[in-house]
Amino acid sequence: MARTLRGLEEVSAREIEERGLGTVERLRHREVWFSSEDPGPRVLGLRTVDDVFLLAATLDGIGHTKAELDRFAAPARTAPWRDLLNLRGRCGGPSSPTRIDVVASFLGKRNFNRYDIEDAVGREASDVLGLPYRSRREGRPPEDGEPFPIRVTLEGPEAALAVRLTGRPMHRRAYKRESVPGTLHPPLAAAMARLAGVGDLAPGARVLDPTCGTGTILIEARHLAPGLHLVGTDADPDALRGAAANSADAAEEDAPIAYALADAGRLPLADGTVDRVVGNPPWGLQVEPHGSLARHPKRYFGEVQRVLRRDGGRAVLLLHDPDTHLPLAESVGLRVRDSLTVSLFGTHPSVVALER
């Protein structure tokens, strides 16, 4: 079971099947359920998901009353925790935990809370595995040792119990040591690069992020195809220093990412020289626009249109106010090819694909 941002379920499902990692069985809210005959460490290479879990048990018919909590005890007690612990090790995850950690979430209103579910499951798993469990009612769990991370999700009447493959959440990329306000969630950056078709580009193709921040989109794009010419510009020199540091940490046997200090309304690139633009423009939600964008936001879209190749050029942008910004894009000759809405930390921006 893969956990995703809301809105990326189908994108993640396609990544799973295109990479031959399993067969998708169903989609739920922020979840992709898939089966694999021989799971292994390759599953940890998924880029558009927040985390991957091994499904331990399901139960159906869960109602809204507090008495329903008793129903979690039996599956928590009989789930094949030890078998899953061994399988977790085969998939590249830690296989020697020192404590039980449980996180629960559910949709809608119930007469119980997440801590009630966590305690019902955690106590049983603790007895089976002989590992200590501490309720999150008491605050964050201890940071020491190696957790056995159990996830419980409840959607409608159906609950799922699962074990996270990794000790550290997969969306917390090791390369992302430097950050700035408005930095992009890595799985969303990876999804945007996939939606832009970056993985289909030939070596030498140019991919641009005009407001690159600390480089997340370009670093994720580098994972999709070898030998790309990746270019990031930003008006904030501190962000560019962070991008260079993150890119160095993520460096592989590939050309380095080129960064330049520039106003996104005056890009230092010739007309029609960019195959893909992938970006998260700053429109004041977390980052205020600088330079010409502060006075003339239309210039952002004008520059995107100018630098894109006339034959097959495409842009994928994260827009927090598409009703305001898409008319600006269309006014300079960019056409909407596709759009999807995602949920991102309490906001609901749109990922919009544009072409000339």
The structural domains of the chain, ordered by start, are 2-164 (3.30.2130.30), 186-355 (3.40.50.150)
- Residue 144's alpha-carbon distances to 122, 137, 148, 169, in angstroms, are 18, 18, 12, 16
Across the chain, mean pLDDT equals 93
Whether residue 238 contacts residue 215, with contact meaning beta carbons closer than 8 Å, is answered with no
Can you give the pLDDT at residue 49? 98
Whether residue 35 contacts residue 25, with contact meaning beta carbons closer than 8 Å, is answered with yes
142 pLDDT above the threshold of 80:
no
Can you give the pLDDT at residue 139? 84
Average pLDDT over residues 243-271: 87
* CA 303 – CA 334 distance, rounded (Å): 11
Average pLDDT over residues 29-40: 93
CA-based Rg of the chain, rounded to a whole angstrom? Answer: 22
Task: Output the six-digit token pair for 187.
Answer: 């799985």
Residue 346: pLDDT band (50, 70, 90) is confident
159 has which bridge partners? 59, 154
312 pLDDT above the threshold of 90:
yes
Nearest of 170, 199, 151 to residue 15 by alpha carbon = 199
Residue 143: pLDDT band (50, 70, 90) is confident
250 pLDDT above the threshold of 70:
no
Average pLDDT over residues 111-122: 97
**How many CB atoms neighbour CB 338 within 10 A?**
12
The CA-based dihedral angle spanning residues 280, 285, 287, 289, taken in that order and rounded to the nearest 10 degrees = 80
End-to-end CA separation in angstroms for the chain: 38
Residue type, 18: E
* CA 10 – CA 7 distance, rounded (Å): 8
288 pLDDT above the threshold of 80:
no
Can you give the pLDDT at residue 168? 87
Average pLDDT over residues 338-353: 94
* CA 125 – CA 133 distance, rounded (Å): 8
286 pLDDT above the threshold of 70:
no
219 pLDDT above the threshold of 80:
yes
Least confident stretch, 13-22, 28-37, 178-187, 203-212: 178-187
Task: Output the six-digit token pair for 278.
Answer: 């992938």
Can you give the pLDDT at residue 226? 86
Can you give the pLDDT at residue 285? 57
* CA 213 – CA 115 distance, rounded (Å): 37
327 pLDDT above the threshold of 80:
yes
**pTM (2 d.p.):** 0.94
Angle at 280 between CA 274 and CA 281, to 5 degrees: 90
* Percentage of the chain lying above the pLDDT 70 cut: 97
- Mutual orientation of helices 322-331 and 298-307 as an angle, nearest 10°? 50
Least confident stretch, 23-37, 100-114, 279-293, 334-348: 279-293
Q: Which helix (H) or strand (E) holds 298?
A: helix 298-307
Least confident stretch, 78-87, 132-141, 212-221, 223-232: 132-141
Average pLDDT over residues 163-180: 92
Residue 130 gets which letter from DSSP? T
Can you give the pLDDT at residue 5? 97
Can you give the pLDDT at residue 180? 86
Task: Output the six-digit token pair for 4.
Answer: 């995703």
